[in-house]
Amino acid sequence: MLDRSGYERGYERRGLEALYTFTPFKIVYKQHGGGAGEEPSDAYTLVILPPTRFKAFYYKDFGDVCRKNLIDLLKREYPKKNVWGFWFRSTLRKLPISVDNRYNVYEYVDWPAFQFKKDGPYVVVLHSILYRALTEDIPIEYRRLRNLFNKHSGLFLLAEYSYESLAHPRFCLRGLVLISHRDSCPIKYVCPFAIWGRCSGNLYSIRETYSGLYKVIPQIKVKLLDLETVEGDRKRSRVRLFVIPFGFHPLAYVYFVDELSLLAFYEGVVFQPKKCWIPYHFASFRYTLGIRILNTDAIVLEFETSTLDKIVNDLMEHKWVVYKKVLLSESKLCDDSKCDMKPDYLAPWKRLYSTIQSNNAETFDTLVRDSKSLDEANKQYYRFIVVHTIAHNIISSLWSELGLDQDYLSYRVLYDGGKWKIYLYETVSGGLGYLKYLAMQKSRLYEIIVKSIYNESLIGSRIVEEYCRGGIDDRDVAELKRFLENVAKYAQGDRELADTANELSRFISLLYEVYRRHGVTIHPYTIRYILQTLVPGRLRETFGNTMDRIVSMFSAFDGNIGCGFIEDGCSLGPFLEPLSISYTVVEYLAKQHSRAGEGLSLGTSVRDIILPWLKMARTKLRIITSNISIDNNIIGILSELCRNGGSVFVMLSKNAVDDEVSRTAVNELRNSLGGCIKVRISENLRAKAIIIDDMAVIEDPFDFAKSGLVFNIENLSKIITDPAKVGEYVRKFNELWNSSKEYDVM
């Protein structure tokens, strides 16, 4: 186990910072040399958790085992310990929180890290089927290994961790050996490729550094605990701050929540290879470490489903969004319309990878055939794309504003109670105070969220548009294909060179045909991985510039990292194509917001616009109008408000005293609502407006009457939600109310 001397400060990290820092299989510390007069202390420190369906063994001394082959090492009784059993008694305790049947979560008492020095230890992690194949010599296990690899491409079989392997690792280009210190392939006697005659050891590659082999990214699951209550029946404080509009419609209601508790734990880790041919490895854990974050602060956005559907209907015309939905649906994220956030992260990548490798652009037709039907399941995928994109933009803006990162401020996209929600929370128990401060400064928080959702800086920038969602130049494609044809023609007997040039030319044709038929391109990550499989190792340098040109030529993916979008900070884990956010959505929202600012010509009645806003009211509804008449829908909303303890304040002009319709309406409202409604007359009434819960103002020259709500469609031009401006309206209303007199109906 780790000698903690000198590391106390690092191990005091809390919350998500600890989970991101001590990610299993990632180097926590890399120590070189020693001080003057001290012995050399070169060491690598890692946290290692055995993945599901894997065995892991710990050997104290490296020197005694490094010369033994795996079969001898595993069959004979060398001093070893089961890694999980070695940790379990001293470092972990079972969390007294039931997450669900899928997870067994343990809390760390002391992080179970290993410090690898030149003399030891040595840890071997291998798949249980590989273990049986090596130790029991049963022929059926070889067939199982072959089937396992065919079914789970991207699943490694063996990893050997030691000082030597971390400093100078070898690995399998096919991904079966994740890391090893051995000069020859340790599984060559049972490897499916060796048995098939497809590998004679040449796929067991040259030495590298561990950090040069893989980018290790944690797959962190966040479970929000007891959303409705804290400590029995005591209700958690939940304060409505303001509402975010989309045109004339409410898009999301923003709340501040204190004492939010959550559980964060590793679902697994992803190894993004930098050298081998597999897109990535994913390792999930049977027993996993987690931490509880108690009584922290959060900002919650709760989305209005009807407004989300208006956005979805418009985005159905955008090929990029349809394409993202197609890939996302492969993950089965929303198959039950609940979107319980347990997707198969590998499935979309495998589908995309296999489709592009099929060398037939028509296979993409099957991907998009049924994606434009707006049944409930499809709608949920599109809604998720929109909400997830908004979540990325907001968290990026907050990180920049507060000078924080994912270790201190994170987010969760959740479908709960029939509503899509974004939880933005501080990742340390007790909170840090940043979100509470922003909640008190409502206008500043409103400005940050609105600017991040409606990022108008993207509009009109040709450079941004071409990079984030650009096209493909036909002339560049033709020029590159001519170059490759000449390479194949003048290869001078080098058959491998000619075949590689022809393969690259066919691959370019496929990518271009996909773009021509469907208007989309494959993400550069996928293109680069396929290029690594097409170009042999000895020709990588020869075709290096050509490969870079292909990647850059087809880099017009809808949500590139270079466009300012998040990679590791994504709450769904590493950057995967179908789970990345969409530039198309960002651009659409920005354009719609810029158009709505000047007012729009409406194709529906004013009543249909204002009813959703009136339904928002929870405490106070203030109405300023010249005259008033009865509308059954509005009376129903007012009655519901009064039943829930709210109040209605109506300010009429002096002309309403002589208006028979207004007198009748006031009498009926008082009979229906009782003491909940108060009506006054003002001598100085000029403006007409509706103020909803100090959160929104509908200001326009229409009367709160049947005729005004039905016929004056073109008059509605301004809905105000900025807290500072709403506060000014409330102040003026109160001044007007205090100077008015009670309305007595004869």
Query: CA–CA separation, 454 vs 389, rounded Å?
Result: 11
* Cα–Cα nearest to 657, from 627, 677, 690: 627
Instruction: Give pLDDT, residue 307.
Output: 92
Burial of 690 (C-beta count, 10 Å sphere; 0-12/13-18/19+): buried
**Confidence label for 702 from pLDDT (cuts 50, 70 and 90):** low
Q: How many CB atoms lie within 10 A of CB 554?
A: 22
Mean pLDDT for 83-105 is: 65
Query: CA–CA separation, 111 vs 122, rounded Å?
Result: 18
Mean pLDDT for 285-296 is: 84
Burial of 498 (C-beta count, 10 Å sphere; 0-12/13-18/19+): middle
pLDDT, tens digit, 9 for 90 and up, residues 121-137 = 889 998 888 888 777 76
Whether residue 53 is predicted with pLDDT greater than 60 in this model: the reply is yes
pLDDT, tens digit, 9 for 90 and up, residues 61-89 = 777 777 788 887 887 766 677 777 766 65
Whether residue 26 is predicted with pLDDT greater than 80 in this model: the reply is yes
Q: Do 268 and 283 meet the contact criterion of CB atoms below 8 Å apart?
A: yes
Whether residue 713 is predicted with pLDDT greater than 80 in this model: the reply is no
Query: CA–CA separation, 201 vs 187, rounded Å?
Result: 10
pLDDT, tens digit, 9 for 90 and up, residues 148-193 = 665 555 678 899 999 988 888 888 887 888 999 888 888 887 777 7
Mean pLDDT for 108-117 is: 77
pTM of the model: 0.84
Can you list the positions of beta strands (E) in 231-286? 234-235, 238-246, 249-273, 281-284
Is the link from the previous residue into 343 a cis peptide, with omega within 30 of 0? no
Query: CA–CA separation, 185 vs 167, rounded Å?
Result: 18
Instruction: Name residues whose C-beta falls within 8 Å of residue 244's C-beta, 6 or more positions apart in sequence.
Output: 250, 251, 252, 253, 254, 301, 446, 449, 450, 453, 721
Mean pLDDT for 692-707 is: 73
CA neighbours within 13 Å on the CB side: how many for 184?
11
Angle 123-128-134 (CA atoms, 0-180°, nearest 5)?
80
Q: What average pLDDT does the structure give for the chain?
A: 78
Higher pLDDT, 370 or 208: 208
For residue 556, the cross-strand partners are none
Whether residue 138 is predicted with pLDDT greater than 70 in this model: the reply is no
Burial of 521 (C-beta count, 10 Å sphere; 0-12/13-18/19+): buried
pLDDT, tens digit, 9 for 90 and up, residues 440-456 = 999 999 999 999 888 77
Query: CA–CA separation, 484 vs 486, rounded Å?
Result: 5
Q: How many CB atoms lie within 10 A of CB 470?
A: 16
**Confidence label for 6 from pLDDT (cuts 50, 70 and 90):** very low
Instruction: Give pLDDT, residue 149.
Output: 61
Instruction: Give pLDDT, residue 289.
Output: 82
With H, G, I as helix, E, B as strand and everything else as coil, classify residue 112.
Answer: coil
Mean pLDDT for 601-625 is: 77
Instruction: Give pLDDT, residue 316.
Output: 82
Whether residue 738 is predicted with pLDDT greater than 60 in this model: the reply is yes
* Cα–Cα nearest to 128, from 52, 49, 189, 55: 55
pLDDT, tens digit, 9 for 90 and up, residues 661-676 = 888 888 888 888 888 9
Instruction: Give pLDDT, residue 578.
Output: 47
Share of the chain above pLDDT 90, in %: 14
**Confidence label for 727 from pLDDT (cuts 50, 70 and 90):** very high
Instruction: Name residues whose C-beta falls within 8 Å of residue 399's C-beta, 6 or more positions apart in sequence.
Output: 405, 406, 409, 569
pLDDT, tens digit, 9 for 90 and up, residues 404-461 = 887 889 888 888 888 999 999 998 888 889 999 999 999 999 999 999 888 776 666 6
Higher pLDDT, 502 or 149: 502
Q: Angle, nearest 10°, between helix axes 319-330 and 346-357?
A: 120
Instruction: Give pLDDT, residue 438.
Output: 93
Backbone angles phi and psi of 616, in degrees to 5: -65, -25
Q: Indicate the Cα dihedral angle 7, 10, 14, 19, nearest 10°.
A: -100
Query: CA–CA separation, 56 vs 62, rounded Å?
Result: 15
Backbone angles phi and psi of 17, in degrees to 5: -60, -40
Instruction: Give pLDDT, residue 388.
Output: 87
Whether residue 38 is predicted with pLDDT greater than 50 in this model: the reply is no
- Maximum C-alpha span of the chain: 107
Instruction: Give pLDDT, residue 603.
Output: 47
* Cα–Cα nearest to 16, from 259, 291, 413, 270: 291
Q: Angle, nearest 10°, between helix axes 583-596 and 376-402?
A: 80
CA distances from residue 731 to 241, 664, 723, 727 in whole angstroms, order as listed: 17, 30, 12, 6
pLDDT, tens digit, 9 for 90 and up, residues 310-362 = 999 888 878 888 888 877 777 777 755 556 556 666 677 677 767 776 666 77
Instruction: Give pLDDT, residue 532.
Output: 76
